[in-house]
């Protein structure tokens, strides 16, 4: 950890599963220049970084977050840490972090396109429809509907390819 700290202000080990690690030690140092430094380790810093940033934490580029001790910032930091401890603030796990590169985005789009291609193979050439009902309402799939055909509900998705069209309408019970 950092060596330009003056004193350890707070030290706690969190028992939270983050990316396969169950325990994360968080240390807060008080520094001479009226700020504190929260050091939580790579996984902790990454999983809770968005929240630390939202309360005006400044990432030091290596292992921690600086916070001013003015204007109640220290109170906000400890409030957040308490909420993390009680589980009110969940970690942002690796699979939900925004790490998509342009290459990842392209792969995802190709996968979606391939899936849509499979869907269009199943769509009949003639007009047809089917309904999925639940206690909240109905989802109606219209295949090759023309503008004059009656519909039920509100259109939420329209897909069209090679003269085949599927429109998905939802009708919610009131």
Q: How confident is the model at residue 114 (pLDDT cuts 50, 70, 90)?
A: confident
Q: Is the pLDDT of residue 32 over 90?
A: no
Domain extent listing, the chain: 7-96, 102-172
Place of tokens 């910032």: 73
In degrees and rounded to multiples of 5, residue 102 shows phi and psi of -60, -35
Q: 63-106: per-residue pLDDT in tens?
A: 799 999 887 888 999 999 999 998 888 888 765 555 556 677 77
Q: Are 97 and 35 in contact (CB under 8 A)?
A: no
Nearest to 127 by CA among 140, 147, 151, 146: 146
pTM for this predicted structure: 0.53
């Amino acid at each position: 950890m950092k060596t330009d700290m003056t004193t350890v202000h707070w030290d706690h080990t969190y028992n939270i599963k983050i990316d396969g690690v169950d325990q994360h030690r968080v240390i807060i140092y008080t520094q001479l220049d009226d700020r504190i430094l929260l050091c939580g380790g790579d996984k902790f810093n990454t999983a809770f970084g968005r929240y630390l940033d939202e309360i005006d934490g400044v990432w030091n580029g290596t292992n921690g977050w600086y916070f001013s001790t003015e204007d109640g910032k220290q109170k906000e930091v400890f409030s957040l840490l308490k909420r993390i401890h009680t589980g009110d603030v969940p970690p942002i796990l690796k699979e939900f972090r925004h790490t998509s590169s342009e290459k990842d985005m392209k792969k995802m789009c190709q996968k979606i396109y391939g899936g849509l291609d499979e869907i269009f193979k199943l769509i009949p050439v003639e007009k047809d429809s089917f309904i999925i009902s639940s206690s909240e309402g109905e989802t109606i799939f219209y295949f090759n509907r023309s503008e004059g055909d009656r519909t039920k509900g509100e259109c939420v998705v329209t897909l069209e390819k090679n003269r085949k069209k599927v429109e998905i309408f939802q009708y919610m019970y009131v």
